[in-house]
Amino acid sequence: MLFSSTQAAELKPGDPAPDFELLDQHGQQHRLARHQGQWLVLYFYPKDDTPGCTAEACEFRDDLLVLKRMAVAVVGVSLDEVQSHAEFAAKYHLPFPLLSDRDGQVARAYGALFRLGPLRFAKRHTFLVDPAGRIARIYRKVDPKTHSDQVIRGLQALQDGATPAP
């Protein structure tokens, strides 16, 4: 097969968020349990320092104060190496963890792993994980330039108990 989207059973809102244990750009270990009791924006992206991924990361960076006021953590995940994440985070002053999923197991568990022949990368998908560790919202079609605003609106609706608009 030339290309494929590899994943486990497709996640849906209400499902438990798959656990992970990955290193960030500083070599620190991160697990899903670290975010127990708070909202989490877990966003997957294809490649460090590319135009769309940079736009998306910088949007989250610029909106981080708003997200922190909402008691929300932001974590990015790609298949890039820790060193690549460190350079990307330093270049754009990204103050949130970028996790290295080198083998693609976490991306696969979240249905975000894409293969194109020998190439593998994470698709641009975002998961809002509630304080109990369940998937609250999934964004599979993401515009990197407006996604942070979309996520904030979705989180506001979820935190207010309304059904968020897609």
At residue 70, what is the residue type?
Answer: M
Given the residues 22, 40, 41, 53, select the one marked as catalytic. 53
Is 58 catalytic? The answer is: no
Contacts of 39 (CB under 8 A, 6+ apart): 70, 71, 72, 73, 128, 129, 130, 131, 136, 155, 158, 159
Q: Can you read off the two tokens belonging to residue 140?
A: 């599979």
Strand pairing category for 113-116 and 3-6: antiparallel
Residue 128 phi/psi, 5-degree rounding, is -95, 120
CB 60 within 8 A of CB 44: no
Which amino acids are annotated catalytic? Answer: 53
